[in-house]
Amino acid sequence: IKLEMDLHKAIHKEELILHYQPKVSLKTGKIVGVEALIRWNHPELGTISPGDFIPIAEETGLIIPIGEWVLYHACKQNKEWQQKGFKTTVSVNVSARQFTQSNFDETVSRVLLQTELNPQSLELEITDSMTANIERTISTLQNLKKLGVRISIDDFGTGFSSLNYLQRFPIDNLKIDQSLIHRMESNMNDKTIVTTIISMAHNLNLNVVAEGIQTKEQLIYLQQHLCDEGQGYFFTKPMPANKIMVTVFEIE
Ligand code: G
Ligand code: G
Ligand code: MN
Ligand code: NA
Which ligand number lies closest to the CA of residue 175?
A: 4
Which ligand number lies closest to the CA of residue 95?
A: 1
> From atom 19 of ligand 1, which residue's Cα is the shortest distance away?
38
Ligand 1 within 6 A of CB of 95: yes
Ligand 2 within 6 A of CB of 155: yes
Q: What is the pTM of this model?
A: 0.96
pLDDT, position 155: 93
Rounded distance between C-alpha atoms, residue 109 and residue 122, angstroms: 11
Residues 169/135, Cβ–Cβ less than 8 Å: no
Task: Tell me the CA–centroid distance for residue 72 and ligand 3, in Å.
Answer: 17
**C-beta atoms surrounding 213 within 10 Å:** 25
**pLDDT tens for the 252 residues of the chain, in order:** 689 999 999 989 999 999 999 999 999 999 999 999 999 999 999 999 999 999 999 999 999 999 999 999 999 999 999 999 988 999 999 999 999 999 999 999 999 999 999 999 999 999 877 777 888 999 999 999 999 999 999 999 887 667 778 888 999 999 999 999 999 988 889 999 999 999 999 999 999 999 999 999 999 999 999 999 999 999 999 999 999 876 666 544
pLDDT, position 252: 46
DSSP assignment of the chain = -HHHHHHHHHTTTT-EEEEEEEEEETTT--EEEEEEEEEEEETTTEEE-HHHHHHHHHHHSTHHHHHHHHHHHHHHHHHHHHHTT---EEEEE--HHHHTSTTHHHHHHHHHHHHT--GGGEEEEEEGGG-SSHHHHHHHHHHHHHHT-EEEEEEETBTT--GGGGGTS---EEEE-HHHHHHTTT-HHHHHHHHHHHHHHHHTT-EEEE----SHHHHHHHHHTT--EE-STTT---EEHHHHHHHTGGG-
pLDDT, position 249: 64
Q: Which atom of ligand 2 approaches the CA of 233 most closely?
A: 19
Q: Which atom of ligand 2 approaches the CA of 125 most closely?
A: 4
pLDDT, position 1: 67
Would you call 189 exposed, middle or buried from its count of C-beta atoms within 10 A (0-12, 13-18, 19+)? exposed
Ligand 1 within 6 A of CB of 70: yes
Q: Which atom of ligand 1 approaches the CA of 74 most closely?
A: 19
> From atom 11 of ligand 2, which residue's Cα is the shortest distance away?
238
Q: Which atom of ligand 1 approaches the CA of 94 most closely?
A: 22
Q: Where are the domains of the chain?
A: 2-251
| β-sheet bridge partners, residue 229 | 25, 209
Task: Tell me the CA–centroid distance for residue 50 and ligand 2, in Å.
Answer: 11
Of the options 3.30.499.10, 3.20.20.450, 3.30.360.10, 3.60.20.30, the CATH number for the domain spanning 2-251:
3.20.20.450
Which ligand number lies closest to the CA of residue 37?
A: 1
Rounded distance between C-alpha atoms, residue 198 and residue 182, angstroms: 16
pLDDT, position 251: 44
> From atom 20 of ligand 1, which residue's Cα is the shortest distance away?
93
What is the predicted ipTM? 0.97
